[in-house]
Amino acid sequence: MTILQQCINGLMLGSTYSLLAIGYTLVFGVLQMLNLAHGEVYMIAAFFAWAMVTMMKLPFFAAFIIASLIASLSGLLIELLCFRLVNKDYPLASLLSTIGLGIVLQNFALVFSKGEMVRFPSAFHDFNINIGGLAISGVHVLILSIGIALMLSLQVLIFKTNIGKALRAVAENRVVAGMFGLNVNFIVGVTFVISSGLAGVAGVLTAMAYHSITPFMGVEMGLKGLTVIVLGGMGSLTGAMIGGLMLGLGEVLAMGYLPMCLIGYKDAIAFIMLIMVLLIKPSGLMGRSQEVKV
């Protein structure tokens, strides 16, 4: 039963990785560029939720929804400042702009928290669900349920709705999509709203699970999100989901079964898994190899 319990914990952690990685993947799929302020959106959402729960005394679920909406709106700001208004003649300009904006957000959080770790209050009285000899935390079940529900809903949105078809058309070829009458700027904006909203949800869920937030929590999660999208295959939503769940399982099982002297190296698991997969399949788990003519 212990290994099953560890697997549930791993899936819970992996679902937050997947939500973060899907956000990276959506932006990369549409713009072929990375938003390196994505991890900081994750962090800022957690701080907003904490402020609303502790200072404004809002119920947790109200704070959760509002913080996720604020994260979504921050995506529009990132798209406007770092992508739309930046000179397109310099491909690295947008990438560097997102790095700079991420540093600004970090410093806001540093001033707000005075550089210290902040304790996130319990969302509600936790309880255990007992199935046979297996005791599962109610918080973990809630986080896993929200994560999987959002991932499945996003799959339906992308592959079964008109907005999803438009998004895939813009990802395929922005110029041709615009010639067929699609409002490309609107679709790109929607992509950033969805992407940042998912990061916000992941940030609040992680804060709820571990009861602590720091100004630098987005850096570590941002790196792991990037690792997941390479692991799953650049541009693949399904790959991002599977890669995130695999990484969560790998980390939790490593913490549970590695010798104590190696527990401090748990964060290396992500990169070990990445190297192993890329040695076998360089395009990632769900990525497709492409021929490039030179």
Q: Helix (H, G, I), strand (E, B), or coil: what is residue 218?
A: helix
pLDDT at 49: 93
Report the alpha-carbon distance of residue 84 to residue 77 in Å, rounded: 10
pLDDT at 133: 66
Domain residue ranges of the chain, discontinuous segments joined by + = 2-280
CATH class of the domain defined by 2-280: mainly alpha
pLDDT at 264: 67
Q: What is the pTM of this model?
A: 0.88
Report the alpha-carbon distance of residue 72 to residue 123 in Å, rounded: 22
pLDDT at 174: 84
> Is the C-alpha dihedral spanning 133, 135, 141, 144 positive or negative?
negative
pLDDT at 293: 47
* DSSP β-bridge partners for residue 212: 119
Residue with tokens 């992680």: 206
Instruction: Check: CB of residue 36 under 8 Å from CB of residue 252.
Output: no
Regions of the chain where pLDDT drops below 70? 1, 124-135, 260-264, 287-294
The whole-angstrom distance between residue 132's C-alpha and the CA centroid of its chain comes to: 33
Nearest to 36 by CA among 120, 92, 90: 92
pLDDT at 289: 58
The residues near 228 (Cβ < 8 Å, ≥ 6 apart) are 17, 18, 20, 21, 24, 240, 243, 244, 247, 270
Report pLDDT digits (tens) over 87-143.
777 778 888 899 999 999 999 999 888 878 889 887 766 666 666 666 677 777 888
pLDDT at 70: 95
Report the alpha-carbon distance of residue 230 to residue 250 in Å, rounded: 16
